[in-house]
Amino acid sequence: MERYETQAVVIGGGATGAGTLRDLSLRGIKSILIEKDDIASGTTGRNHGLLHSGARYAVKDLESARECISENRILKKIARHCIEDTGGLFVTLPEDDPVYHNELLEGCKISDINAREISIKEALRLEPNLNHNILSAIWVPDGTIDPFRLAASNILDAKEHGAGILTHTMVTGLELKSGGNIVRAADEKGNQIEIRCDLVINAAGVWGQHVCSLGGIELKMFPSKGSMLIIDYRINNIVVNRCRKPSDGDIIVPGDTVSLIGTTSREIDYSRIEELRVDDDEIDVLLEDGEKLIPNVSKTRALRAYCGVRPLVAISGETMGRNISRGIVLIDHSERDGAEGLITIAGGKLMTYRLMAEMTADLACSKLGTGGRCRTAKTPLPGSEKKISERKNVRAFTGISQSVVGSTLYRHGLRVQDILKRDKKNYRLICECEMVTEGEAEYAIKKLDVKNIIDLRRRTRIGMGPCQGELCAYRSAGLFADFGIYRPEKSIELLYNFLEERWKGIKPVLWGDGLRESEFTYWIYEGLLGIGEIKFDDDPGDGDGV
């Protein structure tokens, strides 16, 4: 059994857990994070990647609107390499209530959101693919944010300040004692881990209910499923929102090389949180409403559909939904349940992850009786230490394709200098869709807690372009063997698991060009490489190492 001792254990590797780990580390609190899968593999990695201006909440939820615009301004300074400052539009369609337009402008004014009414001509200039029949438009300071990059950057900074990271490790037991807590866990190979700590921070999102139950504490959550659809190219360069009360299919977000239509909302039973699937009627709604905003949607190919689950927390044991909070919920279980060594942070939004982390770290430091003030609002994340001059950085890598340098710079900011080298092998392309090089993949595998190709996708966008991993998947699998991480047999197993993971999102949209693309992918891996005939050893540890 592996044994550790630390001051705080953070359970959950989403944005909130990663942000909390970073905040604690910057304050000098010795901490370890445990995540049952990969960083940002849960709800954090299953949203539309919107950098909220807060305008969406300005009519009915002024507190959330103010939180969003405040964090929007902070993130644009500390997380530059994770953000594209696209701007956003709220547009009124002929069937929408025109009164909402004025209500939104008034709410934004009260919330200190820099929103302004613009002409239809100006809106069409900003976004030429927009529905030309719109009745009115409002510009807002929306943007896009890469949740995978954001979470990984927080983890990287925390590690560089002494934090420990245990991914693909499941918490199996929780002993909460006045003299110190014990967290028991097991990694994917079955190795047992025991961590003694002064404080446990439950940042596991919807899985936080289960974490609390391990400590004998009841925390009721009511999960809400949201489904989204990705289309095969970037049809808009500015975030487009429908100017009406929040509903299904009311936003299209540009993200890297694609665009995303969101979002549906369905309440689900807690027992189904591990069995999420996108329903056909949700896809129909997203396509239909998406086309009302941007008619070009009908000319695109649906790449994949996916869904995430947002945890809604019941306060004070309420089970009928009347006290379920949709905002930030910070629970000191010593006051609520008599469990001195446990804190739960839940609710909120991706936009408010840093604020949630600050609130949690403040409470943690108070309970530990140590630690300094929060520094995360002013300390840039790794790669965003200063404004990036792409032209200057491209010139620094003379001899390497400018598109390669630009893509790597876009994803990693100033850390590009740790990634690209003039050795041709270093900058050869592994993924043409997203311009990912062998050097970037090596950096991610060796420095960013990557254990498999699915993890590598989250760090580099390998397999997230139009071909969905058709050609880059087998190249990526080979790298794990080339870098001495796994034996070839294990690399083949990683390839198989990656293809299965991609298939889950492709299956719901399997028609037309998408079906033809899938048939080609099937021919490569089944017909040419015969991957379906390979038998893998049931021992999860077999084939590891070199």
| Co-location of 90 and 204 in the same domain | no
What pLDDT score does 542 carry?
Answer: 44
Pairing state of beta strands 199-202 and 50-51? unpaired
pTM given for the model: 0.94
| Co-location of 300 and 327 in the same domain | no
| Co-location of 210 and 236 in the same domain | no
What pLDDT score does 388 carry?
Answer: 64
In a domain, 202, yes or no: yes
What pLDDT score does 395 carry?
Answer: 65
pLDDT along the chain (546 residues), means of 10: 96 97 97 97 93 95 95 96 96 97 97 97 97 97 96 97 97 90 95 97 95 93 91 94 94 93 90 90 95 93 92 61 64 91 93 97 95 93 80 69 86 88 86 93 94 96 91 94 92 94 93 91 91 72 46
Give the residue numbers spanning the domain of 163: 2-43+148-220+317-368
What pLDDT score does 422 carry?
Answer: 78
In a domain, 195, yes or no: yes
E strands within 315-414? Answer: 324-325, 328-332, 342-347
| Co-location of 108 and 168 in the same domain | no
Two tokens at 70?
A: 């405040």
In a domain, 378, yes or no: no
DSSP state of 3: E
- Cis ω on the peptide bond leading into residue 263 (within 30° of 0)? yes
**Domains: count for the chain:** 3
In a domain, 436, yes or no: no
By the 8 A CB rule, do 102 and 86 touch? no
Position 472, amino acid:
C
In a domain, 182, yes or no: yes
In a domain, 391, yes or no: no
Nearest to 242 by CA among 48, 55, 109, 46: 55
Residue 261, strand partner residues: 229, 252
What pLDDT score does 160 carry?
Answer: 96
What pLDDT score does 109 carry?
Answer: 97
In a domain, 382, yes or no: no
| Co-location of 117 and 231 in the same domain | yes
Q: Report the half-sphere exposure of 296 (CA within 13 A, side-chain side).
A: 16
